[in-house]
Amino acid sequence: MSLTEKASPIAPGITPPRHVAIVMDGNGRWARARHLPRTEGHRQGVGAVRRTVRFCAEQGVEVLTLFALSSENLQRPKVEIATLFELFLSVVDQELPQLEKAGVRLRFIGDIHAFSSRLQGYIHRAQERTRDNTGMTLVIAAGYGGRWDLTQAMQRLALQVQAQALRPEQITPQLMEEQLTTVGLADPDLFIRTGGEQRLSNFLLWQLAYTELFFSEVLWPDFDETELQRAFEFYAKRERRFGRITEAK
């Protein structure tokens, strides 16, 4: 499919999720099955990122959050991390004009202090260049961990308490949300994890409290529109009660 061609819309009447959050897993296994180095799996995964961004933008998804690199992933061998960073950099660089044209707003969440200053510069520039766009928000979680996010939020609140700008009893879930890296974004409606594992792996722990969870056996480099459509249809069938009960008829 070309970049300008429209994806066929999902069944009429189906409302797409507003915020989709994805754990892109299975690159290593995809490569191993082909007797290739793990890094080749990551390279192939870029295609799946492109397909996913395009499909979600076309379907009217408002926010797409991709887990690119967890805080824990940073402990992988240096060559693998180097490839991931290099890929990350070249994808942001190459895709930026296309994303700008599509009106996509980029936002990065995570602790990027460990990244090279070159990469940090790219991240800041990409955010700046797309900040006034009004299309889909593409959130890239890099160096991200749900526990890290919660911890940094608590540290900021603690500083306010210490400065006597806030009393502990004034801390509410809303106040917590204002300190999380996802401030201003609605919580994800649909979580997708590829690669067959059924766990959250320290992704958006607070934000996924009421999210519908879809686990796919497909390895990330093979992830495509057909599987995304399956996930959206699964989401459309869910009845979301947010802890309440369905109203009696």
Comparing every residue's Cβ against Mg ion, the nearest one is: 25
Selecting among 27, 73, 93, 222, the annotated active-site residue is 73
Q: Report in angstroms how near the CB of residue 53 gets to ligand IPE at its nearest.
A: 16
Q: Report in angstroms how near the CB of residue 133 gets to Mg ion at its nearest.
A: 31
Q: Which is nearer to Mg ion, 17 or 145 (CB)?
A: 145
The size of the chain, in residues, is 249
Number of residues that bind Mg ion (CB under 5 A): 1
Q: Which is nearer to Mg ion, 69 or 126 (CB)?
A: 69
Q: List the one residue out of 45, 59, 127, 58 whose CA is nearest residue 92.
A: 127
Residue 50 contacts which entry, ligand IPE, Mg ion, none (Cβ below 5-8 A, type-dependent)? none
Q: List the one residue out of 86, 128, 133 whose CA is nearest residue 108.
A: 128
Q: Which is nearer to ligand IPE, 28 or 188 (CB)?
A: 28
Q: Is 212 in the site for Mg ion (CB under 5 A)?
A: no
CA distances from 178 to 31, 185, 205 (A): 40, 10, 15
Binding region for ligand IPE (CB under 6 A): 24-29, 69, 73, 84, 195, 220
Residue 194 contacts which entry, Mg ion, ligand IPE, none (Cβ below 5-8 A, type-dependent)? none
Cα torsion 86, 203, 177, 141 to 10°: value is: 10
Dist. CA 173–CA 176, nearest whole Å: 5
Active site residue 111: no
Residues numbered 4 to 43 that lie near Mg ion (CB under 5 A) are: 25
Q: Report in angstroms how near the CB of residue 205 gets to ligand IPE at its nearest.
A: 17
Q: Report in angstroms how near the CB of residue 193 gets to Mg ion at its nearest.
A: 10
Q: Which is nearer to ligand IPE, 53 or 153 (CB)?
A: 53
Dist. CA 224–CA 51, nearest whole Å: 6
CB burial of 48-78 (b: ≥16 within 10 Å; e: otherwise) equals bbebbbbbbbbbebbbbbbbbbbbebeeeee
Q: Report in angstroms how near the CB of residue 46 gets to ligand IPE at its nearest.
A: 11
Active site residue 202: no
Q: Which is nearer to ligand IPE, 43 or 125 (CB)?
A: 43
In what helix (H) or strand (E) does residue 108 lie, and over which residues does it extend? strand 105-109
Residue type, 139: V
Structure tokens at 9: 């819309």
Could you list the residues that contact Mg ion (CB under 5 A)?
25
Catalytic positions, written as ranges: 25, 73
